[in-house]
Amino acid sequence: MLRHFRELAGLSQEALAGRLGFSKSQVAMVERGERPPRGDFVPKADEALAAQGALLVVAEKEFKDSGIPPWTEDYLAEEQKASSVHSYQNHVIPGLLQTEAYARAVYNCNYFPPLDDEEIEKLVKTRLKRKQLFHRKPMPNLGFVIEESTLTRPLGGPSVLKEQLHSVLDFGRLRHVEIQVMPHNRQTHAGLMGPMILLETAERRRIAYIEGHKGGYFVSEQPDLGNLFGKYGILRAHSLSPEESAKLIEQVAQEL
């Protein structure tokens, strides 16, 4: 629809981008359906192209608010088409592995500012949708390093955690998934600076994603990118093997 009205107006993608205050690549990605429109993109485009509200109607129907911030949307767009995803988490079970009840418990911990019920349900729904990655073709290579403490932190209560641990074990049985646990007794640690997610695109281009209190950002330049991949390699080497990790996870689940 956007391309139709742009061509009808006789504008190039670059010319439209200039009128909207967005980049040419953003216009192109929206037209190709690779990224949803952000911010005031749609109302500006509707006015600039004299679409008489047509773009607004389509956007309201197709791009409902997911409740997630723009930087997370950018990451999720990369995640869904990645050829490999490797994640290190130190406080919670990684989002890709979370059950519905566990994810809801995580979002309920967002005390300040607090989220209302509608916001939480939107976020949970978006998180669960990410699991499509496990069944995508071609299959991506997925790896996770998680701290042993995440196995015992009873977010949502013991029953929620037990269900979550059994779900982790199920994912770990998939041949394109590796889950490793970093044990408590390590006297050195390469991940003290916090969580990280490393991606490899279909074109084998490497990028990293870091998320903090003020938002998330991609790392794509050297030497920072290489340093993150190096740290993750050490984390994997210092963690329990996938087989040892599965035994530990099963043991913790049985004790709940």
Residue 250 — pLDDT band, cuts 50, 70, 90?
A: very high
The answer on 160 and 53 residing in a single domain is no
Q: Looking at the structure, do residues 135 and 208 belong to the same domain, yes or no?
A: yes
**Phi, psi values for residue 191, rounded to 5°:** -115, 30
> What is residue 100's three-state secondary structure?
helix
**Do 131 and 229 reside in the same domain of the chain?**
yes
Q: Report, as an integer, the average pLDDT of 11-36.
A: 85
The pTM of the full predicted model, rounded to 2 decimals, is: 0.76
- The answer on 190 and 130 residing in a single domain is yes
Q: Which residues pair with 142 in a beta bridge?
A: 85, 177
- Whole domain around residue 53: which residue ranges? 2-62
Q: Are residues 136 and 235 in the same domain?
A: yes
pLDDT for 215 equals 77
- Name the band, by pLDDT with cuts 50, 70 and 90, for residue 113: confident
Identify whether residues 160 and 234 lie together within a single domain.
Answer: yes
Q: Do residues 242 and 211 both lie within one domain?
A: yes
Residues 183 and 230 in one domain: yes
Residues 89/195, Cβ–Cβ less than 8 Å:
yes
Same-domain pairing of 33 and 126 = no
Query: Do 115 and 26 belong together in one domain?
Result: no
Share of the chain above pLDDT 70, in %: 96
Q: Is the same domain home to 56 and 87?
A: no
Count of structural domains within the chain: 2
Claim to verify: residue 75 and residue 57 sit in the same structural domain = no
Q: How far is C-alpha 200 from the geometric centre of its chain's CA atoms?
A: 14
Per-residue pLDDT, averaged over 171-195, amounts to: 96
- Rounded Cα distance, 86 and 124, in Å: 21
Among 31, 62, 93, give the residue marking a domain's end.
Answer: 62
pLDDT in tens, 79-102: 999 999 999 999 999 999 999 999
